[in-house]
Amino acid sequence: MRTLTELENQNEEFLTKKGIPFTTVLLTDNILKHSIFDATRPMIKFFKEQGIHDYHVQEKGKDAKKYVTTHILTFKKEIMSKSSLYKAGTRGDMRMWFGAEILPLTEGGNIYTIMVQGNEFFILNESKIDIELCYTTSIDNPIKRFLRSL
């Protein structure tokens, strides 16, 4: 993983101070090109702790793929998507994808924050969004509504 920018650091510090559990993923150009990435150890642990998915009991292959309703949060809108979680059929690599809806909102090198509520993912681009500003502004927005619902 690369060094976090000032905004990314601020975002993660804000969520940590608020006691909001989260994990992150760096979406590289290669990941965006192939629309898939390997789940990292912290992600695998986070999903299991949050009760949303346990890769260790999942069967291999695309037939055992699990779909998770995913809310992509921006300041202006909430975009619905479906994340796929599965183990590759050959080696059993643990993989996932947020859905094509993320592509117009993302550039290679962006870091996404993944949070869980009610067995659904809530994700946002922490490389582009000031989470604390969204939370504290007097303007109603999807990020503020989600964080206040926790």
Is residue 36's pLDDT more than 90?
A: yes
Beta-sheet pairing, 66-73 with 120-125: parallel
* pLDDT confidence of residue 108: 97
Q: Report whether pLDDT(1) > 70.
A: no
pLDDT at 98: 97
Q: What is the pLDDT of residues 123-138, one digit of tens each?
A: 999 999 999 999 999 9
Q: What is the pTM of this model?
A: 0.95
- Which pair of structure tokens corresponds to residue 14? 């804000």
pLDDT bin (cut points 50, 70, 90) of residue 75 is: very high
Mean pLDDT, rounded, for 68-72? 98
Q: Are the CB atoms for 89 and 61 separated by under 8 Å?
A: yes
How many C-beta atoms lie closer than 10 Å to residue 32's C-beta? Answer: 17
Whether the Cβ atoms of residue 108 and residue 34 lie closer than 8 Å to each other: no
Mean pLDDT value across the chain: 96
Please determine, for residue 22, whether its predicted confidence score (pLDDT) is greater than 90.
Answer: yes
Q: Are strands 78-87 and 94-97 parallel, antiparallel or unpaired?
A: antiparallel
Domains of the chain: 6-149 (2.40.330.10)
Contacts of 3 (CB under 8 A, 6+ apart): none
For the cut 90, the answer to whether the pLDDT of residue 18 exceeds it is: yes
What is d(CA 122, CA 143) in angstroms, rounded to the nearest whole number? 9
Coil, strand or helix: which one is 28? coil
Residue type for position 127? S
